């Protein structure tokens, strides 16, 4: 006669519940910060860079955002996607030293892009906005392209997102947006700057909406976990009989 082990389903359920708890903790552990997403990081090409900017103040609104562009590996082409309610300005400056790109020596290049909101489009707490620019040409493969950001609030506060960050390293409190270039793709970089026709919405999006898919996925996982636990418990009861 086989010996029943009535506590096995209970132990299994406890392990699964603990795992679900870790999933929930992990889902809310990531911190909001200014980030950049390149459409293509291929060396020698043009790319659309999309910056995601959250507004974190509980008492003030984000009124302006500026992105500093690299001077050691400057972009020879920079253009901005227009946005309703935000005025964009590209600033040029002399480079610390002349740079030769594709046989041409340049001493001046775009150094920053600044967006300023009108009163109706300022970002409140739990809101974010995306800003897109087209740049090129990207530097050699393996280059870390750092793009420090500065964020202004309506109460006069200024937040600098400028701390060096790198893949695989602990994230600093205020990391600068960055990406790493990859090997050039065949035929890539021979054309015009990246197409900026497809960009994010031009109105503020709430953080709750941004997390809808994550929450839905977590809910589905927890539902499956509950059904699995019930099955284990039923199996334990059957063995008792």
Whether 142 contacts 116, CB under 8 Å? no
* Distance linking the first and last C-alpha atoms of the chain: 12
Q: Which residues pair with 159 in a beta bridge?
A: 151
Residue 26's pLDDT is what?
Answer: 36
> Of residues 144 and 187, which shows the higher confidence score?
144
Whether 138 contacts 43, CB under 8 Å? yes
Label residue 166 by pLDDT band (50, 70, 90).
confident
pLDDT in tens, 220-231: 455 555 555 555
**pLDDT reading at 79 higher than 90:** yes
Label residue 103 by pLDDT band (50, 70, 90).
confident
Residue 169's pLDDT is what?
Answer: 84
Q: Is the pTM of this model over 0.75?
A: no
Report the candidate in 178, 120, 122 with the shortest Cα–Cα distance to residue 147: 178
Tracing tokens 């054309």 back to the chain, one arrives at 191
Q: What is the mean pLDDT of residues 98-103?
A: 86
Q: For residues 91 and 35, give the distance between their C-alpha atoms in angstroms, rounded to a whole number.
A: 21
């Amino acid at each position: 006669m086989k010996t029943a082990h009535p506590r096995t389903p209970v132990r299994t359920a406890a392990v699964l519940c603990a795992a679900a708890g870790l999933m929930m903790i992990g889902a809310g552990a990531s911190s909001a910060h200014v980030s950049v997403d390149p459409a293509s990081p291929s060396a020698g090409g043009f790319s659309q860079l999309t910056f995601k900017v959250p507004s974190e103040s509980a008492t003030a609104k984000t009124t302006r955002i500026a992105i500093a562009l690299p001077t050691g590996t400057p972009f020879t082409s920079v253009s901005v996607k227009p946005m309703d309610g935000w005025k964009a300005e590209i600033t040029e400056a002399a480079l610390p030293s002349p740079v030769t790109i594709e046989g041409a020596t340049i001493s001046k290049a775009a150094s920053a892009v600044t967006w300023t909101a009108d009163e109706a489009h300022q970002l409140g707490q739990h809101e974010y906005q995306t800003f897109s620019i087209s740049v090129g040409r990207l530097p050699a493969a393996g280059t870390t392209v750092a793009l420090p950001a500065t964020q202004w609030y309506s109460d006069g506060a200024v937040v600098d997102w400028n701390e060096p960050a790198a893949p695989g390293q602990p994230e600093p409190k205020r990391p600068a947006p960055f990406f790493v270039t990859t090997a050039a793709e065949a035929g890539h970089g021979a054309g015009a700057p990246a197409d900026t026709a497809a960009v994010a919405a031009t109105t503020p999006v709430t953080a709750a909406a941004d997390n809808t898919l994550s929450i839905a996925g977590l809910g589905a996982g927890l539902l499956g976990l509950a059904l699995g636990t019930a099955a284990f418990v039923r199996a334990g009861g059957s063995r008792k009989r």
